[in-house]
Structures are given as C-alpha cells and as structure tokens.
C-alpha cells in the first residue's frame, strides 16, 4: 500500500481519524481534510469544509500536488439532526441530504454538525 495515496474527509477525529491512521499504518500517504486542518502527525492536514465545493477541490488539488496522485477517497464528513423524523425541521433534512449525499450545503448556519 506504500505507493497509494488517500484523501479522507472529517479526518481530525472519530472514524475519519481512525481510517487515516490505519491507512498511514499500512504505508499510505494521506491527505487529511477537516475543518481544523489537523494533520494528526501522519499526513497532509488540510482545512476544508465539505459544504464548500471550492474548498473540497482545493484540498484534493493540494493532496495531488503534494503526493503526485490520488488512489482512495473516503468521504466521511456528514451532518445529522436527531429526533422523530416527522418533527425535524425540513431545512435540517435538506442539509443532511446535501452534505451526506452531495458533499455540499445550500444553507449556511445550520444547527447540524459537520
């Protein structure tokens, strides 16, 4: 795997950080995209909000520029709204669809977490 390059979103904590660390442990070079830009001491840390398509493009471009290629993408970033579905704010449902399925948001300032 040492000749492989991965790009992981929401890589500064939780599942994203665990995946990035596992890839790094297997010898992969890793672009770690998160809002904080933390590199976890293992790869290329990139500040990136997946709701902004230009930020995602810039982070991917930086990964390719740094490592010369891109082999694996882990689109791990997501948002959630919790509670009974019929009680959810329709804007929160749309935000989940936009971020979790499309990697973008049409609405800023959502109560949901990224």
Q: Identify the DSSP state of 72.
A: E
Provide the whole-model pTM: 0.80
* The predicted structure's pLDDT at residue 5: 98
User: Which residues 6+ apart lie within 8 Å of 66 measured at CB?
Assistant: 29, 31, 44
Torsion, Cα of 10, 37, 18, 50 (10° steps) = 10
pLDDT band of 78, cuts 50, 70, 90: confident
pLDDT over threshold 60, residue 86: yes
pLDDT over threshold 80, residue 106: no
pLDDT over threshold 70, residue 109: no
Could you write out the DSSP letters of every residue in 4-44?
Answer: -EEEEESTTSHHHHHHHHHHHHTT-EEEEEESS---TTTSE
* DSSP-derived pairing of the beta strands 5-9 and 72-74: parallel
Could you report the per-residue pLDDT of 25-59, keeping only the tens digit for each?
Answer: 999 999 999 999 999 999 999 999 888 889 999 99
């Amino acid at each position: 795997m040492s000749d492989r390059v991965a790009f992981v979103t929401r890589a500064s904590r939780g599942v994203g950080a665990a995946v990035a660390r596992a890839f790094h442990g297997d010898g992969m070079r890793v672009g770690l995209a998160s809002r904080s830009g933390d590199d976890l001491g293992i790869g290329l840390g990139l500040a990136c909000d997946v709701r902004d398509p230009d930020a995602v493009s810039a982070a991917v471009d930086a990964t390719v520029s740094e490592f010369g290629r891109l082999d694996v993408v882990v689109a791990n970033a997501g948002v959630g709204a919790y509670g009974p579905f019929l009680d959810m704010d329709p804007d929160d449902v749309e935000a989940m669809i936009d971020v979790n399925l499309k990697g973008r948001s049409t609405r800023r300032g959502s109560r949901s977490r990224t």
